Structure 1
Amino acid sequence: MPRWKELPDSLDPRVRQLIVQLRRLKDRSGLSLASLQDKTGYSRSSWDRYLNGRKLPPRAAVQELARVCGAEPTPLLVLHEVAESAWQQNVPPGREGPRGQESEEQQKPEEQQEPEVRGTAPESAPPPPAGSVPAPRPAPTRHGWPRRPIVLVGALLIALVALGAGLVVLNPWWDDSTPTATSRTHGAVAGSWAPGKAYSCKVRRVHGRLTAGYSQSDNGEYQESAHGWPVVEAQCLLTARGFSPGGVDGVFGPATESAVKRFQSKHRQDPGPDQPPLAVDGIIGPHTWGVLRK
């Protein structure tokens, strides 16, 4: 299978994260762009734009890709929510906006579209008889509500664990420990992490260990595609140690992985005389946590 083109450096890390996962899903399925065109209704050229970062794929395209590849769509849709927010904030020059919700193939030709049904103009309606009471206006129906319902972010975040089965293996993604007094200094409580937000860092030493107060994780393994408070904690610690992950948002993307590798390379021999050197693999495991908190 041909190698992918490098994604543009100007691409927001949150958008990059979505595209990387979509590429992995396509590669695992073995489907070509032509096959995706046949199976999803989105053209080959559309998929080429989506998977090379020139246009943000619409939500429906993400769902279709998950369907034809036999993957759980919910984790990808969470990444899409984050990516869409980032894309709307700053659409890169030369790239299309995110709102093309239907492909050329899915749009009906104009002559085949059903005629629009219009209500009678108010001025053409006959006036009510004198003394009559106007009928009450019907209550708004569900058709008048926004097309996308408000979704509890927490439920979607829990569903992200499904990526471990479909795309990558993470153990675990979430820090299940009870929040301590230190974590409350940031006003953060377990379960309130949300995508698309930036978090401040106040790293301090408590009982001989560095902490940012977001997570007390020491044993979990976190790598690219992980999300949550432990990732916020790690990003703060990396920043404090001089290895910027490009932002503190709780999303373990390529920039965070690069910062972890630089940290591991610089502090390879720091675990101690009786411990093996740090592996430069971009994964935050127990040994890397230990050195980060020194």
Structure 2
Amino acid sequence: MRFVSPSSRQPLGSQGPRHPLLPPASTGRAGPPASKSPSGRPSERRIDGDPGSTGQNRAQGPALRRGNVVRWKALSPSLDANGRRFVSRLRLLKDRSGLSLVSLQAKTQFSDSSWERYLNGKVLPPSTAVEALARLSGEDVARLMELRDAAAKTWYTASDADSTPGSDTARGVAESEAPRIRAVALSLAAGGLLLSAAVSMLLVMDARQPNDGSNRGSTVDVGTYTCTYSRRGDELFAGNSTTTSRLVMLNSTGPDTAEVQCLLRRHKLSPGDIDGYFGQQTEAQVRRLQRQGHVPADGIVGEQTWTLLRHVE
């Protein structure tokens, strides 16, 4: 029988010594080799404003991706603490949603270039964009809007020079204010239409009023008049007007109307108060006098009706 020394035994599962020309055995799975730059460092690929997963510096703008880690660009120094806090939260929600800029464009009413400016802090996003991102990422809308309101109070106040025409800041202000400007424009247009309709109605009503030179439609001529009767030949006058042909009709006001009312009383008719206003009661009594005098009972005091009024016993 042959004895084997314990020190010469191979461990269980060992394959023993390998041939010097064979490659060493693998101890586990190996992934594809990482690409390297000529300097020997892992290569970096630029992301055009479309980061994927989050990294340690996700509060910086879309810039570089190292493996699966995305680093955002640094925010503009013009942003204060409130602006940085707000934009950083937007970036976090964008990363959490896993949506690309193209996907955000498809799911909202804002373009991918607009989202790139929002996430870079170049433009203050409008409220509708903030609400849309909150819903897509499952964020509390009220909480995110509070951050936006705080940022809006001091947005770019430290860098007024950036607000030149054509700059990103100027475009951002215009873009964020666009809904408010449209609302104001619509309100002004609606107000203009209402004003135009009111003026048109007033013109139509004024056109229906008779124009006989007796200041009709003026409340200044409505009041209390007195009747002081006197005769000139066979004609009677009440001391308010001496006309014998001026037209007086419904809604007329002034001394001519008061004269008609005084003369109607002398004909033992009841026009109401002597107030210088040709109302329906005065018109009814004029029609009654016209029927008595056998003239057209149209309720309008013209030359024929003045003759009836001034010739009274």
The TM-score, its normalising length taken from structure 2, stands at: 0.35
Structure 1 or 2, whichever has the larger Rg, is 2
The TM-score, its normalising length taken from structure 1, stands at: 0.37
Structure possessing the higher relative contact order (Cα contacts under 8 Å, 6 or more residues apart): 1
